[in-house]
Structure 1
Amino acid sequence: MSSEVSTTSEAYLAVQQSQEFQSLRRKFRGFVFPMTAFFLAWYFLYVFLSIFASDFMNKFVFGKISVGLIFGFLQFVTTFAITFIYARWANREFDPAADAIGAELDGGAEH
């Protein structure tokens, strides 16, 4: 059992050090980090405007709908849009490469 665990650990380490895995990691980080930075900047813009530009955020655009309410609603829209964009990107770009690495790992563990 111990040799089986060490063989599995070695296989995982070998995959982790492979060029394919490193490329997949770069691809993931290249998508997720900028998207996260964008969302955080957008979120903090909303928060800072609420704190420091309350007159602007309290302006009514039409009826009882204020700029702050619109920005708050757009936070939800942005969250769903990012989720949708990520899911499409992952299905198209990331998952096939991850599946290939997983299949290689599964194939290597059987031998």
Structure 2
Amino acid sequence: MSNEAPERVDDDPNVAMQNSAEFNELRTKFRKFVFPLTALFLAWYFLFVLLSVFAKDFMGTRLFGNITWGLTLGLLQFVTTFAITMYYARWADRVFDPAAEALAQKMGGHQ
């Protein structure tokens, strides 16, 4: 065991970054983007599940050939997932990552 005094929290660069106005702004920006998008996707997902359980006749209705509403909506779940992923990646590249990089540089570089 070492007899050295533990580093003061005030001297920790990570704590300083977390307490900065820029970090709080970045966290708020991230949450304002991610939380609504997550809520929207979860609502869409649970709608699909609820329709599958409670609206079997609707989900079994054929649109054309052997393609039903259930199959179509199920495949749209995948499309939605990919679209959200691409949308987030573009947003992160354009908005979030540059701001995070600027903050990291201001606080002393990458760790």
Q: TM-score normalized by structure 2?
A: 0.88
Give identity over the alignment, percent: 57
2:66 is equivalent to residue 68 of structure 1: no
Give the helix-richer structure, 1 or 2.
1
Q: 1:36 deviation in Å?
A: 0.3
CA distance in 1, matches of 2:10, 2:98: 23
2:10–2:16 Cα contact (<8 Å) kept: no
Q: Secondary structure at the match of 1:48?
A: helix
Deviating 4+ runs (over 3 angstroms): 5-9
- CA change 1:38–1:48 in 2 (3 A) is same
- Please list the CA deviations of residues 40-64 of structure 1 after superposition, one character each: whole Å capped at 9, or x if unmatched: 0000000000000000000000000
Q: Alignment length, in residue pairs?
A: 107
- Please list the CA deviations of residues 3-51 of structure 1 after superposition, one character each: whole Å capped at 9, or x if unmatched: 8x65896111111110000000000000000000000000000000000
Q: Which residue of 1 aligns with 2:30?
A: 28
CA distance in 1, matches of 2:17, 2:94: 22
Cα RMSD of the aligned pairs, angstroms, is: 2.2
Alignment of 1:1-111 (within 5 A): 10-107=12-109
Q: TM-score normalized by structure 1?
A: 0.88
Q: 1:82 deviation in Å?
A: 0.1
* Counterpart residue type for residue 16 of structure 2: A
Stretches of structure 1 lacking an aligned partner (at least 5 in a row): none
CA distance in 1, matches of 2:82, 2:17: 33
